Amino acid sequence: MTQPALEIRALRKSYRNGFEALKGIDLKVAEGSFFALLGPNGAGKSTTIGIVTSLISKTSGKVTVFGHDLDREIQEVKRNIGLVPQEFNFNNFEPVAEVVVNQAGYYGIPRREAWQRARHYLGELGLWDRRKDMARTLSGGMKRRLMIARALVHEPRLLILDEPTAGVDIELRRSMWEFLQDINCDGRSIILTTHYLEEAERLCRNIAIIDHGRIVENTTMRSLLAKLDTETVVLELRAAAHQLPAHDSIRLRRIDDLTLEADINRGEDLNHLFQLLDGAGIRVQSMRNKTNRLEELFIRMTQTVESTGLDTRRAS
Amino acid sequence: MNPLHLHENWTALRTIVIKEVLRFARIWVQTVLPPMVTMALYFIIFGGLIGSRIGEMDGIRYMDFIVPGLIMLAVITNSYSNVVSSFFSSKFQRHIEELLVSPVPNSLIILGFVGGGVARGLAVGAGVTVVSLFFSPFSLHSLPVTLSVVVMTSIVFALAGLINGVFARTFDDISIVPTFVLTPLTYLGGVFYSVSLLPDFWQGVSQLNPILYMVNAFRYGLLGTTDLPLALSYGIIIAFIVGLYLFALILLNKGVGVRS
Ligand SMILES: Nc1ncnc2c1ncn2[C@@H]1O[C@H](COP(=O)(O)OP(=O)(O)O)[C@@H](O)[C@H]1O
Ligand SMILES: [Mg+2]
C-alpha cells in the first residue's frame, strides 16, 4: 500500500496573539492526486500550508508526508515537498536563473546539474530568455511562474501551490492549469489552495473545504457535486407571469415581472420545467444557469457552519 | 547533521556562501568601496596630519601604530554589517523562506551567512591594507597569528551580526548596534592609542572590552608589539565564537524572528 502524500491529524494552530487559526483539522491526500483546499480568505489555508512546509510552527497535531513524520523526519518531509507560496518571496535583486539554481543548491544538487534543471524548468515556464534579468523586473505572472520553476527544481513528489492564480490574468491562468495538469499526469501529487471555485472544479479530483479553521467537507469532486441537490436557472419571460405553477421537484420564484428563478432538483428532466411553464401559459425568451454549482454549494456550506458551528459537521 | 547527506550539505553551504558573496560583490560601490575611502581619510588625517605631531606610540611611529587597528576596524564593521543587512533583508523580502523550506540544517545556514560576512570583512580588510601601503611600510611579524586573528575576529562579528539580524524588526534595528555599541567599542579598543597611556582605572575598564584583545593580537601579528598576553586574546576570541554560534543556533532552532 502506498503512503498518502499528505496526512494531517488534529492539527491546531494558535498564533502568538492568541488567535486560533486552525481548530483541529484532519486531511488526507492520496499519492498522485490533484487536491484542492478550498476556502474563503482567512479560512486557514495558508496557515495549513505553512505548517506542512515548516514555515509556521504548529501548536499540536500530527503531519506526515509520504509517511515521514514532520516532528521526527523533517529533512525527509522537506525533500519531498515543493512550495509555491501565496506571496512573492524570492530575492528581487537576484537574477532569475540564480533564484532557481540557488534553490537547487539548498537541496544538495551540484551546481552544474542545478543549471541544467534551471534551464529545463525555466524553459518550460517560458522564462529562460529572462534568466539574466533581475527577478524584480518580471511581470506578476512571470514572478508566479518563477516560483513554480523554483519549487520544481528539486523534483519533489508533492507540489503545493498556495493560491497560484490569484491576480493572474485568465489566459495565463489557463496555461498554468495545463502545465499543472501535465505535471500531475507525470505522477506528481499536487495540492492547490484557492478561493476560485472554477479552478478547483476544473482541476481537482479531490477537494477539502476549509472555513474558520475547520474542514467542512473532504471528498471527491464528483460526490461533492452530487451533494448539490438543486440547480438554479434564471428565466427571462416574454410577458409578465401572473400565477406561478407549483411542483414537487421544481420550485419557481418571481424576481420581477419578466424574470423567474427555478430551483430544479438534481435528476429532474428539464422537460418537466417547460411542461410546467407551458401549462401555465408562461412563455420563456431565454434561460441561463444562475451561478457555478460549486459556488452555490460553497456559499451554503460556509453559511451553515457560520450559523451553527460544529454541529453541521456531524450532520453532514 | 546526517552524515549520509554530507555531500549535499557541502553543496548547500557552498551555495549559500556564493550567494552571499555575489550579493555584496554586485553592490560593491555600496559595500566595499566606502570603507576603503573612509580608511584612506583616517590615514591622511590621523596618521599623516595629526600623527606627525604625536610622534611615537609604544615605540612605533604613530601612523604605523594605527594601521593594524584601522584594518581591524574595517574587518569588524564589514563582517558585522554584511550579515546583519543580508539576514534582515532576507527576512524583510521573505526569501529566508527559501532556506527554511529546504533541508539545509540551521547550523549550515549560520555557517553560510558567516562565510559571506567573513568574505566581505577580509575583502575590505585586504583593500584597506593595500591603501595603507601608501602611508606606511608593510610589516609582517607573524603570518599565522595575523591570519588566524583576523579570520576569527571576522567570524565573531559575522555571528554577532547574524544575531542582530534575527532580532531586528525594522531598518533602525540593524543600525543601532553598529552605531552605539560596535563603533565606540572599537574606537576605545586601542585602535588609536595604546591602553597603557590610560590611567589605571580606565585601563581596567578597557580590559573588559573584547575588541581590545582582538586589535592587540592583530597588531602583534603585524608589528610584534602588544600590551596583552596573546593566549588570553585567543581564549577570548574562541570563547566568543563558541558562545555566539550556540546562541545563534538556539535562536534559529526556535525560529525566533523567522517562524510564526
Ligand atoms: N501571524 C499571524 N498572527 C495572527 N493571526 C494570523 C497570522 N497569520 C494569519 N493569521 C490569521 O489566521 C487566519 C487564517 O489565515 P490564513 O491561513 O492566511 O488564511 P487563508 O490563507 O485561508 O486566507 C486569518 O484570520 C488571519 O488573519
Ligand atoms: Mg492564504
In chain B, which residue's Cα lies nearest the Cα of A112?
B11
Q: Which CATH superfamily is domain A6-225 in?
A: P-loop containing nucleotide triphosphate hydrolases (3.40.50.300)
Number of alpha helices (DSSP H) and beta strands (DSSP E) in chain A = 11, 14
Identify the residue whose C-alpha is closest to ligand 1 atom 12: A21
Comparing C-alpha atoms, which of B116, B105, B114 is closest to residue B241? B114
Q: Where are the domains of chain A?
A: 6-225, 230-293
Segment (H or E) for B70: helix B62-92
CB atoms within 10 A of CB B162: 26
Beta bridge partners of A236: A259, A286
Each residue's pLDDT tens digit, A78-109: 999 999 999 999 999 999 999 999 999 999 99
Cα A71 to ligand 1 centre (Å): 23
Q: Which listed ligand is nearest to A162 at the C-alpha?
A: 2
In chain B, which residue's Cα lies nearest the Cα of A98?
B19
Q: Which of the four CATH numbers 3.40.50.40, 3.30.70.1560, 3.90.230.10, 3.40.50.150 does domain A230-293 have?
A: 3.30.70.1560
Segment (H or E) for A46: helix A45-52
pLDDT band at A226 (very low <50, low <70, confident <90, very high): low
pLDDT band at A129 (very low <50, low <70, confident <90, very high): very high
C-alpha distances (whole Å) from B252 to each of A7, A16, B21 are: 27, 17, 22
What is the residue-level pLDDT of chain B in tens, covering all 260 positions? 455 578 999 999 999 999 999 999 999 999 999 999 998 998 888 877 888 888 888 888 888 999 999 999 999 999 999 999 999 999 999 999 999 999 999 999 999 999 999 999 999 999 999 999 998 888 899 999 999 999 999 999 999 999 999 999 999 999 998 889 998 898 888 888 888 888 888 888 888 999 999 999 999 999 998 878 999 999 999 999 999 999 999 999 999 999 88
Each residue's pLDDT tens digit, A49-74: 999 999 999 999 999 999 999 999 99
Question: Distance between the two ends of chain A, CA-based, in angstroms?
Answer: 29
Backbone dihedral region for residue B91 (phi beyond 0: left; psi -120 to 50: alpha; all else: beta): alpha
ipTM of the complex: 0.91
What residues of chain B lie within 8 A of the CB of A135, using their CB? none
Cβ pairs bridging A and B (under 8 Å): 84
Q: Do A106 and B15 touch (CB under 8 A)?
A: yes
For cell 532556506, what's the residue?
B99
Q: So what's the pLDDT on residue B77?
A: 94
In chain A, which residue's Cα lies nearest the Cα of B255?
A57
Q: Where are the domains of chain B?
A: 3-254
Identify the residue whose C-alpha is closest to ligand 1 atom 6: A15
Å from A146 to nearest chain B CA?
13
